[in-house]
Amino acid sequence: MQPPIPLKRPAWVEEFMAFIMRGNVVDLAVGIIIGAAFTGIVNSLVRDLINPIIGLLIGGIDFSNLYITLRGPHTDTLEQARAAGAVTLNIGVFINAVIQFVIVGFAIFWLIKALTRLHLSAPEVKKPTADQALLTEIRDILKAKQGPVVTTE
């Protein structure tokens, strides 16, 4: 049974399907997924390994609780201040974000450097020399004059 009004798929749907199936879009999606996983690793590296060492070296400061209360009760931890509804400048959270950015930038720098060293680009297609082009042309003319080759066995 056909619908009373024939439904036609909009042209943009076909364009979108062609776009989404292109290789570079799929590669981009894979890159985003890997980047998200890498971000989790970097967050843990900064929060759980780097910040405690830096805090220990500069006198036992815990970056995650480094904040300034602008309005509201001042508490011992940032979590308590947030729970109390205090307005805070979260300096430690910002420092963590800067450290994470530097680590991700450093990792991307070395990745690009390694890929450049591997020369993952496509090899250059060499143009034939003038002699090679002339010989190719002569070969094509001779083939055209000779006609089809018939072999009998």
Which pLDDT tens digit goes with each residue over 47-61?
A: 788 878 887 888 777
Q: What one-letter code names the amino acid at 60?
A: G
Burial 50-59 (b: 16+ CB within 10 A, else e): bbeeebeeee
Q: What's the pLDDT at 118?
A: 77
For residue 12 the two structure tokens come to: 């943009």
Its CATH class, for the domain covering 12-119, is mainly alpha
Reported as a single tens digit per residue, the pLDDT across 106-119 is 888 887 788 777 76
Residue count of the chain, please give it. 153
Q: Which of the given ranges, 19-28, 50-59, 75-84, has the highest pLDDT on average? A: 75-84
What whole-number distance in Å separates Cα of residue 134 and Cα of residue 92? Answer: 71
3-class SS of residue 86: coil
Please check whether residue 73 is in contact with residue 87, taking contact to mean a CB–CB distance below 8 angstroms. Answer: no
Q: Tell me what pLDDT residue 32 has.
A: 87
Q: Is the pLDDT of residue 122 over 60?
A: no
pLDDT of 138 = 92
Q: Please tell me the predicted confidence (pLDDT) of residue 152.
A: 65
Q: What is the pTM of this model?
A: 0.52
